[in-house]
Amino acid sequence: MSKEKKSLEEQAYEILNKACLGWREVPASLSGRFHGGESMEQHIKTAVSIVNHLCDCYGVPEEDRDLCVAGAVLHDM
């Protein structure tokens, strides 16, 4: 039985869940000025969605897309 490979996004969420309990409730920016009060979880999901859309628009190869998604997940850290 083969296991389906987890996406880079899923792997990043697993790491965040293990290392940073409660990260989902943290404001996306400490001041709240820049992200309209959205949670860090929603902010990351929005960033990943935008990156995936841009990768689709520009035909970014899969191996490079993983790097772009990783950048979106980690861009505020």
Picking from 51, 58, 42, 55, the residue whose alpha carbon sits closest to that of residue 72 is 51
**pLDDT at position 60:** 92
pLDDT computed for residue 26 by the predictor: 57
Please indicate, yes or no, whether the overall pTM of this predicted structure exceeds 0.75. no
Q: In this structure, what DSSP letter does residue 32 have? A: S
pLDDT tens for the chain, residues 1 to 77: 446 777 777 777 777 776 665 656 655 555 445 556 667 778 888 888 999 999 999 999 988 998 898 888 887 76
The predicted pLDDT at position 59 comes to: 94
Beta-carbon contacts of 12 under 8 Å, excluding residues fewer than 6 positions away, are 69, 70, 73, 74
Tell me, what's the pLDDT at 74? 80
